[in-house]
Amino acid sequence: MTSDKDIAEKLQKEILIYKKSIKANYYLMIAAAKKFIEKQYYMDLGYDTPEEWIERVLGFGIRRLQQLSKIDQKFIECKVSEDDKIEIDWTKARLIERVMTPQNAGELIEKAKKLTVSELEDEVKKYNNGVKVDFHNPIGYIRIAYYDDNEYKTIMNGFEIAAKTTGSNSRTEQLIAMCQEFLGTYSHLAEVEKDPLKRSILERDRYMCQVPWCHRRKNLDIHEILSRARGGEVSEENSVVVCRDCHSAITDERMSVQKLSKDKWRFIKKKE
């Protein structure tokens, strides 16, 4: 009988084969990596978190995997064929995804096949009201890196609202105001952190929902794996940090959690 570890090792080899290609096999790698993370196969190979597996095995951060997934999702929405994906490398895909719509997808794909990256950058400008799509934007003396236009708009909207709130044109004061608002959003953790044990659990789990396909950092709860009604208690061995949505899913029995060993859990979605 094939063990989970055997399955995990086989899938990991498949992912690494896909990674060696700088072209469309990235998309195949995404699909395989998503399955690897959702099934929590990384635990079978001795990794505590998906981030650790991604960094050590794939050689890049989880942010890159999320970005690749975002591009692939846009291609799916715009009905880009697998054959077309094969002909477009990662850099070009990253460029055209930002301005792609179902209406212009075919045209952009053909341009991506024929043009160099530099030529494609100039073409993308035409789809973006003449504004160059860039990965960085200088804001005062602060240089902020962003990954797509939506992130850029979020950053600039934050500064705009902070400017109205503070009445100041200083980017520093605006940034301080945004940080204060951020801290207000997470104020519910202030009471939790007063308890040394709960604070220790939050720090252990890096203030992040431990469900592999979630990892939210907002609205966090501490879930007791063995409920208090069944004799459980809040302890490092019996507790795991999850967001409120995932906590509700566990409470409603749409998802279950199993403790595998110290600091290791397996979350399982219930089939509908």
pLDDT of residue 246: 93
* Global pTM value: 0.42
Whether pLDDT at 123 is above 90: no
Whether pLDDT at 253 is above 60: yes
In percent, the amount of the chain with pLDDT more than 70 equals 81
Mean pLDDT of 6-10: 82
Alpha carbon distance 152, 144 (integer Å): 9
Mean pLDDT of 226-246: 87
Cβ proximity of 214 and 205 under 8 Å = no
Q: Model confidence at 141, in pLDDT bands (50, 70, 90)?
A: very low
Whether pLDDT at 133 is above 60: no
Of residues 74, 94, 122, the one with CA closest to residue 22? 94
How is residue 108 written in tokens?
Answer: 């952009």
156-178 pLDDT, tens digit each? 788 888 888 777 777 777 788 77
Alpha carbon distance 91, 178 (integer Å): 33
Mean pLDDT of 178-194: 70
41-63 pLDDT, tens digit each? 888 888 888 877 877 777 766 67
- Cα–Cα distances (Å) from 125 to 119, 121, 148, in that order, read 10, 7, 14
